Amino acid sequence: MLLVDTHCHLDPRYFAEGADPPIERARSAGVGALICIGVGGLPAAENAVQLAQRRSDIVATVGVHPHDALENSPELEASLERLIGDERVVAVGEIGLDYHYDRSPRELQRSVFARYVALAVRHRKPIVVHTRNAKDDTLEILAAEGAREVGGVIHCFSEDREFARAALELDFDLSFSGILTFKNAASVQDVAGWAPQERILVETDSPYLSPVPLRGKSCEPAYIVHTARRLAELRGEALERIAELTTENAARRFGSRLAEAIRLCQTGRA
């Protein structure tokens, strides 16, 4: 059995011991082919890409998180665009809108999001979307910028069926995090039980959102097993079947580089 963590942050600022120990602990737990999210400035993006170049079991994404919209600049955009061209970069993201924390002005969040959606479409790479309290604007920008041409993922899905339907319609898959294991997550659990089987993924969003029973601890990719088990319960499937499904879905969504990382992990050659 192999579970793919489709969204984790492995920067040195989160893992002082470096990225390799948590990756090895994940492998021991049956978790491999991680998608390392490179956001939070150029060094973090470069760090994710270098990790993916160094390790055959890791691929990367790069983007500008909505929290950091204020820090976007033509120079940053040009540097990230160069990284997006790298074959180990399988998606653009996470990008999106966060009206819960509002760390950057909303108008700016929207314009930066739109620019990077357009960049993803130009480079023919799928998009990893972060959205919080911003359902309508998120859908509107994705539609307006032609995101359907490349599709992507709604990461850390935390909305309802109505939003899920609209996202699926735009060719965005639904990725479930540790939130799925929380008691107060009824609408997310409802969507997880209902969503089409070929459109579901799992992720940790490490170092955030540790699943129950590890809630409160700093999260790492190995913990995804708890989220996958909850997803299996909600769908009335065996854990092995959920692993098989979500791993196939991840390979289909993120393309040949991830598919290769999955094969290498499954055959013990990574």
Contact residues toward Zn ion (CB under 5 A) are 94, 130, 205
Distance, in Å, from the CA atom of 210 to the CA atom of 138, rounded to the nearest integer, reads 26
Nearer to Zn ion, 57 or 94 (CB): 94
Min separation Cβ 269 and Zn ion, Å: 28
C-beta of 115: minimal distance to Zn ion in Å? Answer: 18
Least distance in Å: CB of 8 to Zn ion? 8
Q: Closer to Zn ion by CB, 55 or 130: give it.
A: 130
To the nearest 10°, the Cα dihedral for 198, 204, 205, 208? 150
Q: Which residue is nearest to Zn ion (CB)?
A: 130
Give the gyration radius of the chain's Cα atoms: 17
Q: Which is nearer to Zn ion, 72 or 232 (CB)?
A: 72
157 Cβ neighbours under 8 A, 6+ residues apart? 164, 174, 175, 176, 177, 179, 188, 191, 192
Can you point out the beta strands (E) in the chain? 3-4, 31-32, 34-38, 58-62, 89-98, 127-132, 152-154, 172-176, 200-202
Q: 173 or 205: whose CB is closer to Zn ion?
A: 205
CB of 236 to Zn ion, least distance (A): 29
Residue closer to Zn ion, measured from CB, 228 or 232 = 228
Q: How many residues does the chain have?
A: 270
Question: Least distance to Zn ion from the beta carbon of 170, Å?
Answer: 18
